Structure 1
């Protein structure tokens, strides 16, 4: 008995989106001392696949010639430029057929943007790299995008978060196929978490903190970032611009497509991250430095955004 796994990759693929899952499956073979997983890389057309790093990958099979090809698991790898990549109608149709023939199918990282072009993500729970989540939700509005999740299973569909989360996905598939003991052995051998203690939230760096909008709103953002400890709320932002809160809300919606309160909360969280990573201030001093009324308020807000408490975040990311 064996199980075939195929990684579909386009030119510019993120190498770890392919090699990471394949190494997990290969390690499972070593743990079993036999070849349970048969591993293949599929390209869209004949020729080598050049990854975003410049490494060249030799494909085992080509989509255009895979009329009778059958695989048990099919995963679509992501790429740094996945949002610009487009599959042709025939490629979408062929990929859909391959997915329908497989026991399970899915994507690694931004590969969800490619798989979405087939229509197979509609009315499904999915995840992808946190930086692609909003775009995936926009392009595939009927999908339920879980932006913070590392791994999501919905029926035959399996999707993973960004890059290294492809290893988490592969490990979950090993557990499905071979049981917990083998999956734990693989995790130990690869020196990876069997279950990561965090979600995607603590990795995300939100674009909302970039200085965007027209000059007046950018000036407000600069001022706010420099005065976070003394800003009580949105009313202080409005007062600095000599505007009503309603008018400020309107400006933020028009120019940033978000509420000023959300931007302010993002700013506080990002400053808290930086101070926790830096490690100079004691933990109890950070809430005040970020403008929080108390440590409890910051702890709840931080855990809601990142999935872990400030104390755990410092232990994990402090730049010692």
Structure 2
């Protein structure tokens, strides 16, 4: 019942965001500003708060597992993306499909679902999971769109951008506060309440922003066979493969479940922006987001229900 309520909440928030965008109540400029607010303030606040849990040896071990698994998964996505879409003749569509395989919406929607399904520790693990994802997005992902071979300088620039990303900085702050808590330090009451107030906005703000972004896409764009095939792969086939492999390994259940649910997220909202910037069929990129996000409303309940079964929890 809790998972059903979660999905209904997500759907309703998306619908409200869609209406706000479609009605013109929120302009595209305002949507971009809200998106920046989420990425630069609200989501980092949620990440910092996720570190304010009692750290145990089990949590630390699972955190390490998540980081290693995420790294391996991201490396695999690079090879998989080249293999499964090689039959697509249109080079611009193929490029978007490859980027959509490497990067998905785990950084916003994935964190919301992880927190809602698994609590603060779920958000903690998903924050760690995103480190390799962000590195890949800003290095291999940018290289795809710009058609540039990565030099040592470009790799360092991409890595520097990741290390200074607000969500990564939030991890640094969270670790410092976690260590401070072990030594008996606590944030002053007004700071803690401010942090909690910002973090509590996370789910609503993320879903409203995604809803307004979707409102910019015409309903007629839903009918796209290739984007539909991508969505099935992104939401079901790839996470199912990860599921089978991880469940055969001696990995803590919550750590493996986080990795699986993060791989089951729809296309990244950064894709049409990059496609627009480099002139690589942004319309098709937008279709990929629309179709995969809509279908995820049906696939996410399946995954969260699966994790509620005793043998997988």
Same fold (TM over 0.5): no
| Higher strand proportion (structure 1 or 2) | 1
What TM-score comes out, normalization by structure 1 length?
A: 0.21
What TM-score comes out, normalization by structure 2 length?
A: 0.22
| Higher helix proportion (structure 1 or 2) | 2
Select the structure of larger CA radius of gyration. Answer: 1
